A and B are shown apart, each in its own frame.
Chain A
């Protein structure tokens, strides 16, 4: 990990009509860091992630990825970035090999053999349609696709949502294994605090449209003497209502 910022979120706000879901949020993610962006449902995590990928324009503020405005240079910057959405976004009627072929044509540095190996390892047939895969297979398939482009930045939006314990463990073990081999910068949102505690080295917690916490995980534990889950609960319970 170096001090060079791969991602710089600069006073970003997102508003839907009168509803301000992200209010002047700023943070940076250093190269090689694993940044966990946490928050309760509707806290604005996904909106922030979309802004971070240039999929959505912030109402105000800017997001810089690799030092460039991601909204303006989305297509170029996403050549170095991979995204794993909370649910597989590939059209269900496509076959796995068609999706792989599509990705291959998108990324010049595509690792064909590595992707095939990974698909074989998780038991995904290339002739199967995306819709025919199980939820866990789809999550791992999406991760395989993301890693196949050899990204410098990997963004994951609650990728283990709805997965059972075994599938979730498979996902993280695969993920951690890959990360060990590369210096990939990672930003992920998740509700699986236990799962993320072992891999994230920095955490941000969104609460009430603001970034209520942005700290190194180890430093946070040291200073507060609490687990990530306890800190998260304390911060997000402030509103006093269930999501």
Chain B
């Protein structure tokens, strides 16, 4: 212990004055910044102070191994463990002294004592201290070891070998880090566990490498360098193996890994498949929700390697699907720089995935300067039903591309930075879209027809709407449901975009959260209201009220979809109870069946760009329980059949 204290005391004597002074100055910064109208939280300043302590302590320790200096400690009757213990003791003493100086200065300089608090020290500071100490020690030791007299073998061969080793090491590190970053961003962003593991294990590795180099290399630079290199190479190899294994295992779950099915699951308009958003038994539940394409009849599910919020986007008939392939995002800028293709893929039903030819102006990749952006800037890609033309919507723009004809001319949506909020392909091949433009407090809704081939835009109609507008076209684009306003002041209207006089037909006015959908026969089902005032009404195709459907007392109601021809799936929510699904005959208003605890997967407003699954098809009959189980209702009278999670999970 006496020798440990002696070593620690030496460090305190060498560095104490400088670091304590730094602590004193650092403690003044929060008050100074506050006095100048800025902000410098004490916690943040303390991080910088601890970085200084770590770098100084580690740097001095490593530098003591430079030529002519190392014998001061090693030529003494001082075991290596005692030396290391003493240096760590010195680090602890310097940290404590610097922290005390910082707190004293911080306390004295706080003009308002209420600004002062003791709880500035967190585990993050300890991590910062350890990390900066470890890195500084490692680098200083490496520099000392590679100093004059300990150079690696000379000559061209030696240099080439060194360069090759450096290149392989750097390449392996970049590859490992890239896979790790991909794993962290895609599967653990919420908890940040891998990033902590990666850096903590890295710091432990460099500390171990330095410790082993000191113990086994003592004063011999070549041996120190060899041990440092060996340990770090071993760590890198181990980390590469672990990260590659984890990346493969975590990001590529099979359907057996599905724990529960999430909201956001949608049925495809093809009538027989669904895009299932799942929670799986890996990754953190908030970040990682992989998409599976489920064939409902067979129950077979296959993971779609899609970026989050970047697909799949099906065509209105469900026959074509576009998504952004989840390639390791860290390498995307490099991939692009090297002339690599877009991440967007397209697939016809049961066909092979192909690369979508993206227009040059579309920002479908990550610019190198914006690696922090997790997801694509693309809002939506809307495939035509023939699977050849694709409308790409992003940030007040729309562009078209074609698999057979390539990039189409630019489209000018007009002034005012309009946002495309809904769209549907017309039989003519044009795309009918609804856009909103804000000018001051006024929102204007416009219906446009865009010819993809020429880029010509025809303005069909224009109207002022409330601050929020939602539009849902019918399958032909001839009619649209419009909700304008929000909360308790929203109105639901029927609009005919192509008519010469497109005055909206108000279906529900001044309602609470109105929702509506087109039935396959052209009728409209609409519901609104909370627990107190409810309305559930069926309208003719022209917007005339034909039936008021009675709703249970105390239940909130919303229409979800047309599950069977003429039979609506309606969500019924008790105030503090569970959500049930009622199957309501749209002609008589009679509830033909109630499914407790289940919700219809289809939604009145979703997808606003795609088509709804035809009633009676398997996709229209999907139900989701509150605990994340996905069922198919085979018929009006049959029991729901569990699809996912797979039985036995």
Contact = CB atoms under 8 A, between A and B. Distances in A.
Interface of A: 16-19, 50, 53-57, 74-79, 83, 85-87, 89-91, 93-95, 98, 101-103, 105-107
A57 B77 contact: no
Nearest to B60: A91
A105 B10 CA distance: 11
A45 to B, nearest CB: 13
Nearest to A146: B75
B69 A78 contact: no
Contacts of A89: 68-72, 75
A115 to B, nearest CB: 15
Interface in B1-27: 2-3, 5-7, 9-10, 13-14
The 9 residue pairs across chains A and B that have the minimum distance between CB atoms = A105-B6, A79-B77, A17-B153, A83-B75, A89-B72, A75-B79, A55-B219, A56-B220, A78-B77
B74 interface: yes
A34 B436 CA distance: 98
B303 interface: no
Nearest to A46: B149
A154 to B, nearest CB: 12
Given A75-B79, A102-B10, A90 B72 contact: yes
B10 A94 contact: yes
Given A89-B68, A102-B6, A53 B220 contact: no
A76 B10 CA distance: 22
A95 B17 CA distance: 14
B152 interface: yes
A17 B6 contact: no
B3 A91 contact: no
Contacts of A75: 77-80, 82
A55 B215 CA distance: 10
Contacts of B72: 89-91
Contacts of A77: 77
Looking at chain B, what size class is its interface with the partner chain? Answer: 20 to 34
A101 B6 contact: yes
A90 B64 CA distance: 10
Contact of A55 (B2, B68, B75, B152): B75
Contacts of B223: 56-57
B222 interface: yes
17 contacts: A50-B220, A54-B218, A55-B71, A77-B77, A79-B77, A85-B71, A85-B75, A89-B70, A89-B75, A93-B14, A98-B13, A102-B7, A105-B6, A106-B3, A106-B76, A106-B77, A107-B77
A17 B78 contact: no
A200 B363 CA distance: 82
Contacts of A102: 6-7, 9-10
A145 B513 CA distance: 88
A103 B2 CA distance: 12
B220 A85 contact: no
A54 B158 CA distance: 29
B77 to A, nearest CB: 4
Contacts of A101: 6, 9
Given A75-B78, A79-B77, A105 B68 contact: no
